[in-house]
């Protein structure tokens, strides 16, 4: 029987080249057939089209590489929510840069696994180089008051980074009491549950950021466990950034540790114009970053930065076939303590390629551009008497709703757009009401795209809500 070619080795590129042409053609044809940001018809229609394209995934006799790639890649592209489409703006789901995607292809072809040096010699070095670069960006003069060099771990995203931060705090102090704002990402609550920590103490965030008076009162209460305050730099719903210096001051006063979830807003560090919004970030003990949001990376590209690298010690683990003592003593790097996972992709490669290719000024240009787009959209909403703006954006998220609409109508408008496949907007609760959410992460948007997004939304308001539509 014919043996399929491999992606690696000296023969791998030659085997990949014709297959890549098939993939690229299928991506193009699928996007062209879809014709918009989302496939029309809703879940049932998408399911029918996928099953029609590939009635069976395990035939008695294979269909061949060309047919399988062309059929399934085209079906995936046709049925995808494409964040590169101008009207796909619901989530922190970025359109990845072509160069980052190309780097990800190399990572897949070489397939190094970062659980032992002998599987990933160069990838291990590159990852260490990247994590040191990121840590230095946050703590250029050392990790906070400790003046250590700082360090970072590569993760699958914000959720894993937040979980790791809580784990490291628990391992350093024993059980910790988390205190956080009502706007804090749900992963903090889930991580507390997974780690067996006390239920987080939640303080109000009436304006979308942590109420400092309420936080001070919560920190002043006697508690049986050390306190870990979680602040947010870029909320999922509005992009709001907590008053980080004031929160850090309260943590110092009350001897609490500080974790900052900057999964969304962290890359503002690369922009001279927007970096001041992150003042106080360097005073955190741990920081979550996620470059598959405001970093234009393919999933996954998360990071957890730590001010004190010795805090990572509890992650150390021994498995003789991966990091035997005598190998480590002989100088082979020990990689198991760099993650809770064993097998790990070299996600550092695509991030490193992007940082090197674009440089600080190139990254700043992308960040400034999407923030400018959000400001422009907010201004258009302000000028449209049929629409109501929640507030002017902090980063690149804009909340709005039709004037006079109730929550049921807002939810119906969003689902109408999804079913029609004409726009992908998110939903968020703020000020006690439901809003449509545009998360603008596409740096290629034009003024025309912004105008037509609002026109499309207004057109959907003419469709009467269906009785019994789930909220």
Helix (H, G, I), strand (E, B) or coil at 439: strand
Per-residue pLDDT at 231: 98
Compute CA distances 230 → 145, 175, 198, 347, whole Å: 19, 15, 14, 26
E strand spans, 249-330: 257-261, 286-290, 302-306
Q: What is the DSSP letter of 292?
A: T
Q: What is the spatial distance between Cα 12 and Cα 14, in angstroms, rounded to a whole number?
A: 5
Low-confidence ranges of the chain (pLDDT < 70): 1, 142-148, 463-471
**pLDDT, position 468:** 39
Residue 208, SS3?
Answer: coil
pLDDT at 469: 40
Q: What is the pLDDT of residue 470?
A: 37
- The CA distance from 173 to 233, in Å, is 25
Structural contact between residues 256 and 229, judged by C-beta atoms closer than 8 angstroms: yes
DSSP string, 443-462: TT--HHHHHHHHHHHHHHTT
Q: What pLDDT is recorded for position 334?
A: 96
Give the pLDDT confidence score for residue 461 in this predicted structure: 87
Within 13 Å and on the Cβ side, how many CA atoms surround 388? 13
Q: What percent of the chain has pLDDT over 70?
A: 96
Helix (H) or strand (E) holding 100: helix 98-110
Q: What is the pLDDT of residues 271-294, one digit of tens each?
A: 999 999 999 999 999 999 999 999
pLDDT tens across 327-362, in order? 999 999 999 999 999 999 999 999 999 999 999 999
Contacts of 434 (CB under 8 A, 6+ apart): 401, 407, 410, 411, 427, 428
Using DSSP, how many helices (H) and how many strands (E) does the chain show? 14, 12
């Amino acid at each position: 029987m014919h043996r399929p070619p491999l992606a690696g080795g000296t023969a791998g590129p030659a085997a990949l080249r014709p297959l890549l042409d098939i993939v690229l053609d299928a991506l193009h044809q699928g996007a062209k057939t879809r014709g918009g940001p989302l496939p029309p018809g809703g879940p049932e229609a998408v399911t029918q089209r996928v099953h029609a394209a590939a009635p069976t995934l395990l035939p008695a006799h294979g269909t061949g590489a060309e047919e399988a790639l062309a059929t399934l890649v085209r079906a995936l592209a046709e049925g995808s929510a494409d964040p590169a489409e101008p009207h796909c703006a619901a989530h922190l789901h970025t359109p990845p840069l072509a160069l980052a995607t190309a780097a990800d292809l190399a990572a897949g072809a070489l397939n190094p696994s970062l659980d032992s040096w002998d599987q990933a010699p160069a990838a291990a070095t590159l990852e260490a180089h990247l994590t040191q670069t990121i840590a230095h960006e946050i703590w250029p003069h050392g990790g906070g008051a400790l003046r250590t060099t700082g360090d970072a771990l590569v993760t699958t995203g914000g959720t894993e980074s937040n979980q790791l931060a809580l784990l490291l705090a628990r391992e350093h102090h024993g059980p910790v009491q988390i205190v956080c704002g009502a706007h804090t990402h749900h992963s903090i609550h889930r991580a507390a549950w997974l780690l067996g920590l006390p239920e987080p103490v939640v303080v109000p965030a009436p304006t979308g950021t942590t109420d400092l008076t309420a936080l001070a009162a919560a920190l002043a209460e006697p508690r049986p466990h050390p306190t870990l305050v979680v602040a947010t730099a870029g909320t999922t719903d509005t992009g709001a950034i907590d008053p980080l210096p004031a929160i850090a001051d309260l943590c110092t006063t009350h001897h609490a540790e500080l974790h900052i979830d900057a999964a969304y807003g962290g890359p503002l560090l690369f922009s001279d114009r927007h970096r001041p919004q992150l003042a106080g970030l360097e005073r955190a003990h741990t920081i979550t970053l996620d470059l598959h949001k405001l970093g234009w990376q393919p999933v996954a590209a998360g990071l957890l930065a730590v001010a004190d690298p010795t805090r990572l010690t509890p992650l150390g683990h021994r498995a003789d076939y991966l990091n035997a003592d005598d190998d480590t003593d002989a100088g082979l790097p020990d990689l198991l303590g760099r993650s809770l996972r064993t097998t790990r992709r070299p996600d550092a490669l695509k991030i490193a390629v992007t940082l090197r290719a674009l440089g600080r000024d190139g990254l700043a240009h992308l960040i400034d551009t999407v923030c400018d787009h959000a400001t422009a959209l907010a201004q258009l909403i302000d000028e449209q008497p049929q629409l109501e703006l929640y507030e002017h954006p902090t980063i690149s998220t804009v909340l709005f709703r039709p004037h006079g609409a109730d929550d049921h109508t807002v939810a119906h408008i969003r689902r109408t757009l999804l079913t029609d496949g004409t726009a992908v907007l998110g939903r968020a609760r703020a000020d006690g009401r439901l809003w449509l959410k545009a998360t603008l992460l596409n740096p290629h948007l034009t003024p025309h795209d912004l105008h037509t997004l609002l026109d499309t939304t207004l057109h959907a308001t003419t469709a009467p809500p269906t009785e019994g539509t789930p909220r």
